[in-house]
Every structure is written in structure tokens, then in C-alpha cells.
Amino acid sequence: MLKPITFHFETGAKKALDPDVARIRLAHAKESLLIREDGLGVLEVGAGGEMKDITRRKLVLLARKIVSVVKAHHIERVHIDVADLFRQLGDSHLHLKEEELAELISTHMELANFEFVVYKSEPKEGWKFLRDVFVTGCKTKTVQKAFLRGQVIAKEINACRSLANTPGGDMTPALLAGAARNAVRGLPVKITVLGEREIKKVGMGGILGVSCGSDEKPQFIILEYRGGTSNEKPVVMVGKGVTFDTGGLNLKPSDAIYEMHMDMSGGAAVIHAVALAARLGIKRNIIGLVPAVENMPSGSSYHPGDVLQSLSGRTIEVLNTDAEGRIILADAITYAKRYKPRLVVDVATLTGAAMAALGQRCSAIFTEDETLEHKLRVWGEESGDYVWPLPLWEEYDEEIKGTFGDIANVGKTRYGGAITAAKFLHAFAKDLACPWVHIDMAPRMTSIEGEYLAKGAVGVPVRLLLKIVEDF
């Protein structure tokens, strides 16, 4: 991973700017220009319209665009006047505090500066990325702290992106457990990893069933951060950790199997959301659970038609071995009960059907709690991890009713696949004595054109998970 940006805060008397430092200025035009003014380089970044028309979403893209334009012009050092920027945006309807603006700018500049280059040879001229940002116009230390907080958030998201981008050959369940240990090293987070023997002893037959076709043994990763009071019920976050998904015996076609090393993106998000909460000293109790498996076809694979005994006691009729994520999540959701949680949130790259329904610009959310659903949409807008709800109506229960087991792992028709997958999880979440949310992040697994992010993992929904634990 490339080095993070170094933010330099200049206060007191205004210093003469270094001619090698390009000044950033927003312009109404769509295009961006590098011009000379008073002997200094001025980079006019096109906002594409009047400042009064800028929304929070557009501001996110604008902060990233600054870095994109900087890199295109091979500029490594820039100057930003926060007070001037705040004045420019003052006529908009954003109603942002300066601290919020500072955090948003630093977060998204850092996200845009990231590129996954671990496996690439460095070019002779070096990597093109932004190294230094000189910030003036910070009226208070609080604004400076907001800049640094935004950078901490972005660095953790970028670490999540690196983890999710790691090829499947270098990211087995055991290696994912090792990455989780590294992510929380030095932080007040207790980590426990259950191996195959312990998973079998606990009774998580879903995880054992999915993993049995691979030489790589399953792992059940438990992260515990106790930042709240001793009697506070925790928020439990569950992340899908399929380190490579071939589809099993229901083998994926060749055009669908690429990028399936990122099928553990939900697990990566949970690991780094817990680490981020600990790094920021959030005063909450948080548990992270990541069932980690590799879904492979072999002579020992689980079969279509198999019936698995889940931790809940319910049996799962396997109609398709490529619907494996929901099976391992079922065991993890049941395991969450022992923590007596106040909220359970599961995160998974679960269905292509969610992408078919929503495109690639937001994740799908499912919950029976309408108040929580509304809050999630607000938190999604505030965090930049956008979400949209789909139904959990009881009429869909009939579609996943098993013939030879209690519940089937796919629906009876090919329609509404994201909903039937959520209803499958809901069957296990019903046992929880607290609200439950399912986030199908498959639409946001990788970046798309126009959002000024490097190709590969996006790091969704780490920011949303942070919002949830802070504000729920």
C-alpha cells in the first residue's frame, strides 16, 4: 500500500508558499486546469457547476477529484485553504460544520490516493501519488483534529481494501485469521480464533459443510472490543469470510469466478471496523464475528441435496452449493446470541441479485425495524456508504421452505434472489432478542467509473459500521 498523505497545518503568520506546492482552488467549470498565477502553480479543480448546487455526494466526489487531477499532473504537494473553501461552499445548502468539512476532505482525499500495488513493480519514475497537503485557514484545533480523524478512518478503510484485494492463493481462512490479528495488534481488542475442531465442538455444521471441499480448514474469528461500560450490551457485527468462492460443485462459469477472492469483503469490513472503533477510542462494546471458509469442489465437497445441521438446530437443505455465504452466516448469527447483543448487523457480498436490483451505487439493506431502516439510510448518506432497503415480507418465507430439511438455501424461483437470501438469514435472526440488519454489499464490492477510486475493493461499509456503533 502506498504511503498515506502527510498533512501539514500552518497557523499564525501567513508564510510565502513554496513554488513547488500547487494551490487548490475550486472552479465552476467542468474541466480542471493547471495555471500560473503570481509565479505559483494554481490547480483549478472543476466543480461542474455553481457552488450552491453542490450536494454532500458531489462534495465527496469533488474531494476525490482533487487527488485524481493532482496525480494526472504529476503533482505531489498541494496547498488547501480550508477557510476559503468553506466560504466558497457557504452559499450551498450543505449546512456542514467546518469540522465535518475537514473530516470529509481528508477521508476522501486519502481514499482517492490509494492504489493496490503490492504485486506490481515500482516504475523508474516512482508511483504517482499525493504526498503532502499543506492546510491553512483552520480556525481551531478542532478542525485540525477533524482532518486527522478523517485520515485515520481512511487509512483503516484502505487497509480493508488491501485485505479484500489480496489474491485467493495468498488469503486462505488461516491467513485471514492472521490478518485479523495484525489489524488489531497493539489495540485493546481481544481476538480468539476457533479452528475446525472447536467449530465442530460448538456445533456449527453449516460452516463445516461449506468448508469440507477444501484442503484449507475453516476458521471462526472473534474480535471483542470493550470500549463501553461493563453492563452495556454490545453491537455484534458479522462478516462473510469466504476467502475464495468457486461455487463448489455448482461451479461458477468462467466469467463469474474472477474476483471471487473478494468474497471475504464483508469479513474484511468487520475486522477493520472493529479495529477502527478501537483506534478512535469509541465508547461502545463491539463484537466482530467472521466465519472464514474456502468453497472448493473436490471429492469431499458438500453436495446439492445434502442436509446440514446448523448451530441453531434447524436443518439446511442445500439446493445449490454456490449459495454458501448465507449458510456460514446462519451459524455466526446464532453464535451472536451468546453475547446478548443490542443489535446484530451482518455484512456480506451475498447476491448478484442485489446488484441486478440496485446497480453498483449502493448496498441493499434488510431489517424489520422501520425506525432503524430510516436511520441506516441517513447514516449511509452521512458516511458515504449509501444503502437502500428491500422488503422482508413474510410472504417470501414460502419460497425458502425446505422439502427434506427445515429451510432451503435458495428460493424456489430465480426471481428476488437478494430477498430470499435475506429471508434465509432472517429465519435464524428471529431467535435474536434484538434488532437485526442484513447488508448485502455485493453491489459495492468493487469501484466503478466516475467515483475517482482505484480499481478493486472499495472498503464498504466500514464508514457505515462506524456510524452505526457511534449513533445507534
Binding residues: 240, 245, 263, 322, 324
Short-list 340, 345, 344, CA closest to 231: 340
Angle value at C-alpha 443, between 442 and 448, nearest 5 degrees: 125
Q: φ and ψ at 362, to 5 degrees?
A: -160, 160
Peptide bond into 461 cis (omega under 30): yes
Burial per residue of 436-458, b for 16 or more beta-carbon CB atoms within 10 angstroms, e otherwise: bbbbbbbbbbbbeeebbbbebbb
- From the list 58, 131, 200, 252, the catalytic residue is 252
The three-state DSSP-derived secondary structure of 118-161 is CCCCCCCCCCCCCCEEEEECCCCHHHHHHHHHHHHHHHHHHHHH
3-state helix, strand, coil in the chain (%, to 5): 40, 20, 40
Q: What is the dihedral of CA 66, 67, 73, 75, to 10 degrees?
A: 110
Short-list 168, 196, 103, CA closest to 467: 103
Q: CA 367, CA 438: separation in Å to the nearest integer?
A: 7
Q: Is 252 a catalytic residue?
A: yes
Q: Which three cell numbers stand for residue 22?
A: 500547487
Residues 6+ apart with CB under 8 A from 29: 44, 46, 47, 48
Q: Is 375 a catalytic residue?
A: no
Q: Which residues are annotated as a binding site for Mn(2+)?
A: 240, 245, 263, 322, 324
Q: CA 258, CA 122: separation in Å to the nearest integer?
A: 25
Q: Which three cell numbers stand for residue 321?
A: 452449493
- From the list 65, 326, 337, 444, the catalytic residue is 326
Between the alpha carbon of residue 84 and those of residues 62, 77, 87, 88, the distances in Å are: 15, 18, 5, 6
Short-list 404, 405, 444, CA closest to 427: 405
Q: CA 339, CA 238: separation in Å to the nearest integer?
A: 13
How big is the chain by its Cα radius of gyration, in Å? 23
Q: φ and ψ at 214, to 5 degrees?
A: -110, 150
Burial class, 119, CB count within 10 angstroms (exposed 0-12 / middle 13-18 / buried 19+): exposed
The three-state DSSP-derived secondary structure of 192-221 is EEECHHHHHHHCCHHHHHHHCCCCCCCEEE
Which residues form the catalytic set? 252, 326
